[in-house]
Structure 1
Amino acid sequence: MKNVTLKVEGMSCNHCVNSVEGTLKTLGAQGKVNLPSGTVDVAFDDSRLTIDQIKEAIEEQGYDVV
């Protein structure tokens, strides 16, 4: 398992948390959103999933990964 912390802009409420964490779960990753810091801690199997795939999935939900 690989762990990364992503800076994500545009998250402001519990709907945002559920959207991002749900998207990561669908990909097979585990995510934990920290709204005050605007970050997402992601744990994933880097033999099955790339960081670019994770970023793209979050951005498809309407958020900006910086």
Structure 2
Amino acid sequence: MKSKILERFGQRVREERIKQGLSQEQLAELSGVHRTYIGMIERAEKNITLENIEKVADALKTKPEYLLRFNV
């Protein structure tokens, strides 16, 4: 069973990536992580580290707290 927080975080990353017109590959390149890692984050298959949350947020030109803010 997938963790709710990972599902919500992955959904937020996907929504923001799509809103900015980025592919998973482009986001991975901007973040400095492997492209499959972005897919795993979006599918809630990976427990992302704080360092990588910051990398993804920077690549999306947002703050980590924005990606972690969800409607509960």
TM (norm. structure 1) is 0.44
Bigger RCO of structures 1 and 2 (CA < 8 A, at least 6 apart) = 1
Specify which structure has the higher proportion of strand. 1
Specify which structure has the higher proportion of helix. 2
TM (norm. structure 2) is 0.42
